[in-house]
Amino acid sequence: MTGVELILAALATGAAAGVSESAGSAVRDAYAGLRDALRRRAAPDGPDGGTPEPLEAEEVEPGLWEARMRGRLMETGADRDERVLAAARLLLERAGAAGAPRTGHTVDAEQARGVQIGDHNTQTNHFS
C-alpha cells in the first residue's frame, strides 16, 4: 500500500467511524490527529504554502474527492511524511481494534482439498 493509499484508507475509515455512534474516543482522536497532521503539512508556513481544500470538502462525488485528495497529498508531500503516515496507521489500527468494517476477508483453508478462493486464478483438479 502506497502512502497515498494508506492516508486515503485512513481518512475514509475515520470519516465512516466519525458518523458511527459506536466509534470510540480513541478512533475519533486518531482521526482528528490525522486531520491535524495533514493541515500542518499544508499550512501557509508549511512546505507547500497552501491549504488542504479536499480535506475540508463537504459532500462531493467520492471519485472526485479521492482524485483531488490524492493529488493534494502528493503535491504537499504528505504521502512521504512519516508523521502523517504514522497518524494514518494509528487510525487504521484503532479502527480495526474498535471493530470497524474492514475490506477483504480472512479464509482458513488449511485442511481443504480442491478449493478455489477468489476469482482471479485458475484451478485444475485431477482425480484418480
* Residue 85 domain flag: yes
Q: Residue 42: which domain range?
A: 3-97
String of DSSP letters for 58-89: -S--HHHHHHHHHHHHHHHTGGG-HHHHHHHH
Integer Cα distance of 38 and 73 in angstroms: 8
Q: What Å distances lie between residue 21 and 15, 18, 100, CA to CA?
A: 12, 8, 12
* Residue 122 domain flag: no
* Residue 53 domain flag: yes
Q: Is the confidence at residue 53, as pLDDT, over 90?
A: no
* Residue 103 domain flag: no
* Residue 108 domain flag: no
* Residue 65 domain flag: yes
pTM exceeding 0.85: no
Tally of structural domains, the chain: 1
User: For residue range 72-105, what is the model confidence (pLDDT) as tens digits?
Assistant: 899 889 999 999 999 999 999 988 855 544 556 6
Task: Give the mean pLDDT of 46-63.
Answer: 57
* Residue 74 domain flag: yes
* Residue 102 domain flag: no
